[in-house]
Amino acid sequence: MASLSLDEKLRLLHGATDPDDSSVGYVPPIPRVGIPALRMVDGPMGVRAVGGSATAFPASVALAATWNPRLAREQGASMAREARAHGQNVLLAPGTNVVRVPHCGRNFEYYSEDPHLSARFAAASVRGIQSEDVVATVKHYVANNQETNRYRVSAAVSERALREIYLPAFRAAVEEADVGAVMTAYNRVNGTHMSDHRPLLRDVLKDEFGFDGFVMSDWWGTESSVGAARAGLDVEMPGVTFEERATAERLPEDVDPADVEFPETLPDMHEGGLFGEPLRDAIESGAVDESVVDGKVRRVLETMARFGLLGADSDGGRRGGELDTPRHRQLARRIAVEGTVLLKNEGALPLDEAAAVALVGPNADAAKLGGGGSSEVTPVARTSPVDGLRERAAECRFERGVPRITESSLFDAFGAGDGGESTADADDADDDASLDAALEAAAEADCAVVVVQDDTTESEDRDDLRLPGRQDELVSAVADAADRTVVVLRTGGPVQLPWVDEVDAVLETWYAGQAEGEALAAVLYGDADPGGRLPLTFGRRADDYPTAAPERFPGANDEVDYSEGVFVGYRYFDREDIAPLFPFGHGRSYASFEYGESSVERDGDEVTVTVPVRNVGNRPGKEVVQVYVRDEDPPVPRPPRELKGFETVRLDPGERRRASVTLDRDAFAYYDQDEGWVVSEGRFTLLVGRSAREIRDRVSVALG
Ligand code: GLC
């Protein structure tokens, strides 16, 4: 620190153009004193290697649907190994914003509508990433819950909702997993841009949560020099203008970077370097004291030191690691299987080995790797539903049925210019899409499997929750023609299912990554139990969701009103007593589970609830025992039940296991504007079940 000039200090506080063009974000080295480069790469579902390949894991929502945080930890470690193999030392993951709005284009990159489930996964992912000496970056801090107008929208959100719903996952990343970096969101919170938000950056994140890493901005998401510097932003990313960053080989030949116009939902990328000259000027004018800059540099250097980067070769590239190895491929498959949610099954699944299958769907011959945007990953290998079923079925005929669904890619915005491959489908005519052929195949087969999908991407929200194109029509027509119909949903969040009563089974596989086809085949044939449970609510109608009112989404006059408060997701459906189509925590298994009587043990402030679970089915299966807490006499309006613990058990037929969940005092608390966290004395009920609406037992506890 003492030997660094002011220029050198400022060089550490904003990104620069990467000479190797191999990083999404790059902070240059200072070889003179053994300070290496910081090399940053996306993303939450696998390494978005600039021009390279990596393991394409299932979407984060699929990972959360496993309700198995150990898988998040393993996935984090795997992605970190792949980041190192690509010479990177900072991974821009996990994304953990709460799924507040079912239409949000980035729900697939996040975990859940529930803060407890989100926090378990965020902490596990950070632990995994950092176990391989790569810096994790929990994002996007905070209340980045929609893509519409994301650079200007201000979330008008109460302190209580921030504390109980939107901050817990970030708090867990810091307090439980000691995350090395936090990325600020583009949006404003209560009128102030997050890069300039002193209360949430300095007072809450750094002082109260004790975050000692560094805060970086989202790309071109820094609002000011002085405001951000004073508020607690440490590193401005990417730190340079688009022109400075764009390299000719990654932009179409005839495109001059200075002429690139960006869509409304992208920031003005012609702005950059706010923590360069403008910050130097602010120091020289006295607007910002140099000690403030020193504090930022210290955070960057101490984080580098913590991850063994100081003294590393100046490139900072932690070579080693591993890429596309069998264990990474196997993990991608396992997450896809365990994240598959069996929403409905009336005797159609598992498929009979000898069954003749009609596989129908506009995009079923392409793996649904993920959604559009900075999380896009290019795998070495992938299997589509057609690949998986052709490999596994005794007989399989594939028909598209209706025209392909376009897949959005952020990189369509300006060509493939930023390292991502446009996943927009080839524009070859859909002359092979014939509904008649699909119906003929369905009528002749023993079972029809219809694979349908939505199209979600960063920087855009969905207009409505229906499946795009003519997919609903296709499902209904096939259901009429076939003896049995199984629908496979490949969606990034909740969708409307108008034909749900017409079909025999529905699987939700989300965006299942590179192993999609083999995982789908394994579940369809019962080689594996569909282990997933919904991490978010499927409503019956679009109006049933808490954000149905336009002022709550997409908002008006650059403001979105979080007036539902803490009643997000199932908390809202429960308070309003609205029957969901499929409730939070829901998921069938090929096995059947019987719950015995729950018991409660007290140990000081801790309450442990234990329940015996037996597999009374004839197949092995996985059960997720969920524990919800209800305050029977709340002094303030509280949700009728809130998830506060869960335990996953795997049971063979006839096997019985005791599942235990321990709750600490925080599990009973609510946040009061004036008093902070409060645990009201009185009676609580612990609801033990297999979803928010499928409660198997209740136990009463009194807190003194
Ligand atoms: C994007 C995303 C962020 C990503 C970053 C770098 O705009 O909001 O999640 O890590 O820019 O690609």
Same-domain check for residues 370 and 514: yes
Q: What is the mean pLDDT of residues 408-422?
A: 53
> pLDDT tens for residues 62-101?
999 999 999 999 999 999 999 999 999 999 999 999 999 9
pLDDT recorded at residue 429: 54
CB of 42 closer than 6 A to ligand 1? yes
**Does 234 lie in the same domain as 86?**
yes
Q: Quick check: 118 and 110 in contact, CB under 8 A?
A: yes
569 lies in some domain? no
Say if ligand 1 is within 6 A of residue 147 CB: no
Question: Is the shortest distance between the CB of 374 and ligand 1 below 6 Å?
Answer: yes
Ligand 1 atom closest to the CA of 109, numbered from 1: 9
Assign 418 a pLDDT band (cuts: 50, 70, 90): very low
Q: Of 467, 502, 535, which marks where a domain is finished?
A: 535
Question: pLDDT for 482-514, tens place per residue?
Answer: 999 999 999 999 999 999 999 999 999 999 999
Arithmetic mean of pLDDT over the chain: 95
CB atoms within 10 A of CB 277: 11
Q: What is the pLDDT of residue 427?
A: 45
561 falls within a domain: no
**Looking at residue 416, what is its pLDDT?**
40
| Smallest CA separation from ligand 1 atom 12, residue | 374
Domain membership of residue 542 (yes or no) is: no
pLDDT at 327 > cutoff 60 = yes
Decide if 284 is inside a domain: yes
Is residue 248 very low, low, confident or very high in pLDDT (cuts 50, 70, 90)?
low
Q: Tell how far the Cα of 118 is from the centroid of ligand 1, in angstroms.
A: 19
pLDDT in tens, 8-61: 999 999 999 999 999 999 999 999 999 999 999 999 999 999 889 999 999 999
Predicted local confidence at residue 39, as pLDDT: 96
Please confirm whether the linkage preceding 36 is cis (ω < 30° from 0): no
pLDDT for the residue numbered 422: 39
pLDDT at 264: 72
Do residue 238 and residue 365 come from a single domain?
Answer: no
Q: Which residue, by CA, sits nearest to atom 4 of ligand 1?
A: 374
Examine the pLDDT at 421 and tell me if it is beyond 50: no
Residue pair 531/620 in contact by the 8 Å Cβ criterion: no
- Evaluate: CB of 647 within 6 angstroms of ligand 1: no
Cα 219 to ligand 1 centre (Å): 6
Establish if 320 belongs to a structural domain.
no
**CATH (domain of 90):** 3.20.20.300
State the DSSP code for 223.
-
487, 503, 535 - which closes a domain = 535
Q: Which atom of ligand 1 is nearest to the CA of 43?
A: 10
The answer to the question of residue 433 being in a domain is yes
Which positions are catalytic? Answer: 218
Model-level pTM?
0.97
Whichever domain contains 609, its CATH number is 2.60.40.10
The CATH number of whichever domain residue 398 belongs to comes to 3.40.50.1700
Q: What are 152's two structure tokens? A: 């200007």
pLDDT digits (tens, 9 = 90+) for 277-321: 999 999 999 999 999 999 999 999 999 999 999 977 777 656 789
Which among 106, 100, 96 is positioned nearest to 141, based on CA atoms? 96
Tell whether ligand 1 has an atom less than 6 A from the beta carbon of residue 24.
yes
**Lowest model confidence (mean pLDDT) among 68-72, 169-173, 318-322, 364-368:** 318-322
Residue 426 has pLDDT above 70, yes or no: no
CA 263 to chain centre: 24
Residue 500, SS3? coil
Q: Is 464 exposed, middle or buried (0-12, 13-18, 19+ CB in 10 A)?
A: exposed
Domain check: are 652 and 503 in the same one?
Answer: no
Residues 367, 504, single domain; the answer is yes
Query: Is the Cβ atom of 92 under 6 angstroms away from ligand 1?
Result: yes
Q: Is the peptide bond before 69 cis (omega within 30 degrees of 0)?
A: no
- Quote the ligand 1 centre to 674 CA distance (angstroms): 35
- Which domain covers residue 492, as residue numbers? 326-535
Has residue 654 been placed in a domain?
A: yes
pLDDT of 414 reads 53
pLDDT in tens, 216-230: 999 999 999 999 999
40 Cβ inside 6 Å of ligand 1? no
Please tell me whether residues 278 and 369 are part of one structural domain: no
Q: Containing H/E element for 126?
A: helix 115-130
User: What is the reported pLDDT for 253?
Assistant: 80
Q: Where are the beta strands (DSSP E) in 276-389?
A: 341-345, 356-360
Instruction: Please report, for residues 95, 234, 464, 615, the alpha-carbon distance to residue 496 in angstroms, rounded to integers and kept in the order given.
Output: 25, 43, 9, 32
577 assigned to some structural domain: no
Is pLDDT above 80 for 457? yes
* Same-domain pairing of 296 and 170: yes
Q: What percent of the chain has pLDDT over 70?
A: 96
Contact criterion met (CB below 8 Å) for 148 and 461 = yes
> Greater confidence, 431 or 508?
508
566-578: average pLDDT: 98
Task: State whether 595 and 487 are in the same domain.
Answer: no
Give distance in angstroms: CA of 43 to centre of ligand 1. 8
519 and 474 share one domain: yes
Q: What average pLDDT does the segment 113-119 reach? A: 99
Shared domain for 495 and 606, answered yes or no, is no
Domain count, the chain: 3
- Asked if residue 483 and residue 344 are part of one domain, the reply reads yes
> Do 95 and 204 fall into the same domain?
yes
- Cα separation, 111 vs 129, whole angstroms: 17
When computed from its CA atoms, the radius of gyration of the chain, rounded to whole angstroms, is 25
Average pLDDT over residues 674-687: 96
CA distance 218 to 42: 12
Contact 61, 107 (CB under 8 A): yes
